[in-house]
Amino acid sequence: MESSQCLTELDRTFVNLTDDPAQGRDARRTYIRRAVMKNYHKRRNQKKEASRYEAEGAASIRENASKASMTPNHLANSRLSPQMRALRLKIPKFRLFEQRKFPEPSAMQMSNSVLRYLCGQASKVAHDPSLVAFLHPYSEQELESSSASPSSKLSPLKTCQNLLRAYGSCKSETLGLSVDKESLWEMIHQHQEWIYAKVSTLSTWELLSAAQAVAIYVLLRIKLGKNNPAFPNGDIALLYTLGTIFRRFQVEGTLDVSQHPLDDWKQWVLCESFVRVATIYFTLNVVISMEIGLPCNSPLDWDTEGMLLPASKASWSAQNIDDWRKRTSTLLPYKQLKWKDLAAPTSVGDCPVEDWRESSDELGLLVTMAMTLRAQLLQDAIQAGSISSRESSASCPR
């Protein structure tokens, strides 16, 4: 298989090395990163256990409920932002990639629907990438046209597709994919390490392809339902690699996701594709535990409320610039809507949010469901007393 040219024999005892000696430094950094994260989680779990025992001991001797506000957990929460205090109430109860539990049956059913849809998207990659809601056909066309020798250099997304076809098991008469083979996950984690080592050298479109591939691996991991014992830190490595890709754009300032380009279809496809990959991440963050001990939603990082809503189905399905201009000419005023606009009260009559809902595709419906579930999480936290309703509204950027 052509994709195996960029993947090397796996060494489980240390790191995934490549044939290029110059990559030794990256391999050592990978090993150190994994060791640091493993020790970090070990210490954090120990602190959680110690805090829990301390809290239980304090509760047994303090019968006055008013004194409960002086427990270590409360003091620790008081130093967090209101929104993080709200969601932290849920996080310690979950392992990485474990589905969150919602008290309302309807919310739980909605969460299940979101996960099934997303996992189904990942399975479609092996059959037809054009069926995936966050993959645009022009992306691969751009990579092939910009490569000096397309046949000798596979994109990360194409390698991902080849791996799934070669090592996965396609279900008969369906678009499903069985991903429980250990050999598949060995190759996936090799490819993930290769992407991480190459991030600084990839072009803009290659970075997009890498982000799409890693997002697919994350979805497949969730579909699998368990981590590969041979790679205990594989989940963290996938999320860390995805974050590294997006952080490169943030540092270099080469991608502005605060607004869509209005007159450049090529740049529009690039921006919208990254918005949709980020949409997958933030949607997952609502329905499963994505806490890996690293700062998320910081003022300088990507944040949920500030994300652009996915573009209309008509704009996303355009196959060329003329078709795109024709389809978007009447929709441009509504493309700058953010996730936070879905939580704002809607006015009667002409409303951009309602117009967006009418023109959106399946991914837009997914975002709407995610924001509904996120509001439920915050409401549960308010009722539990971790934050006040005033703090919750103040924590959302306007």
pLDDT tens, 344-359?
776 555 578 888 888 8
> Which residue would you say has higher pLDDT here, 106 or 37?
106
Percent of residues, the chain, with pLDDT higher than 90: 29
Q: If DSSP states are collapsed to H, E and C, what string results for the chain?
A: CHHHHHCCCCCCCCCCCCCCHHHHHHHHHHHHHHHHHHHHHHHHHHHHHHHHHHHHHHHHHCCCHHHHHHCHHHHHHHCCCHHHHHHHCCHHHCCCCCECCCCCHHHHHHHHHHHHHHHHHHHHCCCCHHHCCCCCHHHHHHHHHHCCCHHHCCCHHHHHHHHHHHHCEECCCCCCEECCCHHHHHHHHHHHHHHHHHHHHCCHHHHHHHHHHHHHHHHHHHHHCCCCCCCCCHHHHHHHHHHHHHHHHHHHCCCCCCCCCCCCHHHHHHHHHHHHHHHHHHHHHHHECCCCCCCCCCCCCCCCCCCECCCCHHHHCCCCHHHHHHHHCCCHHHCCCECHHHHCCCCCCCCHHHHHHHHCCHHHHHHHHHHHHHHHHHHHHHHHCCCCHHHHHHHCCC
Question: What was the pLDDT predicted at 349?
Answer: 55
The residue-averaged pLDDT of 204-227 equals 93
**Cβ–Cβ under 8 Å, residues 170 and 128:** no
Confidence of residue 81 (pLDDT cuts 50, 70, 90): very low
Mean pLDDT of the chain: 75
Q: What is the pLDDT of residue 14?
A: 40
What's the longest Cα–Cα distance across the chain? 74
Min mean pLDDT across 56-65, 196-205, 379-388 is at: 56-65
What is the band of 233 on the pLDDT scale with cuts at 50, 70, 90?
A: confident
- The listed range with the strongest mean pLDDT (36-45, 67-76, 204-213, 261-270) is 204-213
Tell me what pLDDT residue 137 has. 87
- Which pLDDT belongs to residue 264? 87
Give residue limits of the domains in the chain. 36-58+68-395
Residue 333: φ, ψ to 5°:
-60, -20
pLDDT at 368 over 90: yes
Q: Per-residue confidence at 362, pLDDT binned at 50, 70, 90?
A: very high
pTM of the shown model: 0.73
Bridge partner residues of 308 (DSSP) = 338
